[in-house]
Each structure stands twice: as C-alpha cells, then as structure tokens.
Amino acid sequence: LGSAEDKLLFILVYQKTYPLQTKHGLQFGLSQPRTNYWIHELLPILQQGLAEMGMTPERDPQAVRESVLVNESAPDLLIDGTERRRQRPKDAKKQSEHYSGKKKAHTDKNILLANSHTRKVVYLSPPEAGKNHDKKIADESEIAYPRGATLGKDTGFPGYAPPGGITFQPKKAKRQGGECVGSVAARK
C-alpha cells in the first residue's frame, strides 16, 4: 500500500464488503497478518476524517432533529433495519436472543435512517440482538424527527408513526399477466 490512494481504496473496500482478511489481502498482495495491521492502522484515520467532514451518522436519537445531514435538504427520510451475521454465541440464552428466523442465522441488527435526497445515512442505532423486531427497536430508540418530515418505511415497521411527521409505506404493484404493472410502465 504505497500511496494514499491505495490505502483509501483498501480501507473503503474493506468497510463496504467486509471480506475475510485473507481474501482481502490477496486482492492487494498482502498476507493476512499484514492485512490485519493495515485495517487497524487505517480504520481510525478514516473514522476521524469522516467525523471532521461531518459525514458520520448521529448515534444519539434525540440529536437527529438538529442533524446537519437531515437538514441538508428537505427532511425526506427512509428508515430500515439491517442485519449482519455474527459468530454463534456459546451461551444458549444468547444464542436464542441473537438467532434471526428471517436470516436463519445469528445476527446483530441496527436501525438506519437515511436522507432520501442526499442518500447519506443520518442515524445509526446501537447494535441489538437479531431476534428483536425493527419496529420495536425504532420505538425504543425514540428518534426525534424534524417537524414535517416524511418517513418512508418498509414492511418491518407496521404501525410505526412517530409524532410530528408523515409516514408512508410503498405498496406492491398489482400483477397483470404475470408481470408487475409498475415494471411494465418503467420499461416504456
């Protein structure tokens, strides 16, 4: 990793795809121990740089209302839950807490809030056990939305309607002759 550009590409690819260190190292001509070294060297630098640029998501749900990332454009937001695999816990109680029937694996879950215009992540919740439902996590987070914000949500948030905003949930397109009506219109 001779140049700053190589280092930036290395850590961004790692953050985006989160591959095994052995595989990631092969892409850059590095051994697994050297890959591990560079990840631990570059990750704090990336995090500090993003924080200085104001590009890190809020971690405090009460600060979302005043966030620069929310107020860069109209407060049209999208909320979604994300799950990522984790190592299976050895403790039986923790196993059942982290087992996600949806993913058929042991997972951790976060709630993301993104600005639909800028496509930037505005809020990232603390990790929760994969068994918890998206709506329950969002309700317990008590996210403070800007007044008049619109909030798009998926099927993981039935009945989620925080005060002061307008929520909507896209409906599936009706099928005609085996094709979705929306997909036919999009192709024309």
CA distance 112 to 58: 10
Average pLDDT for the chain: 84
Q: What would you report as the CA-atom Rg of the chain, rounded to the nearest whole angstrom?
A: 20
Per-residue pLDDT of 133-148, as tens digits, reads: 888 888 888 898 888 8
Contact 130, 165 (CB under 8 A): no
pTM of the model as a whole: 0.70
Q: Are 127 and 110 in contact (CB under 8 A)?
A: yes
* pLDDT given at position 184: 44
Q: How far is CA 115 from the centre of its chain?
A: 12
> What does the buried/exposed string (b/e) look like for 57-89 if buried means 16 or more CB atoms within 10 Å of the residue's CB?
bbeebeebbebebbeeeebbbbbbbebeeeeee
CB neighbours of 142 closer than 8 A, spacing ≥ 6? 61, 62
Q: How many Å apart are CA 15 and CA 34, to the nearest integer?
A: 17
If pLDDT is split at 50, 70 and 90, which confidence band does 179 have? low
Please report the beta strands in 86-165, taking only residues with DSSP state E, as ranges in sequence order: 99-100, 105-115, 121-124, 128-129, 150-153
| pLDDT surpasses 80 at 187 | no
Per-range mean pLDDT, top range of 22-31, 87-96, 102-111, 122-131: 22-31
Strand partners, 151: 77, 167
59: three-class secondary structure by DSSP: coil
Residue 186's pLDDT band (cuts 50, 70, 90): very low
Decide if pLDDT at 182 tops 70. Answer: no
Q: How confident is the model at residue 185 (pLDDT cuts 50, 70, 90)?
A: very low
pLDDT digits 0-9 by tens, 103-120 = 677 888 889 999 988 888
Ramachandran angles phi, psi of 139, nearest 5°: -60, -45
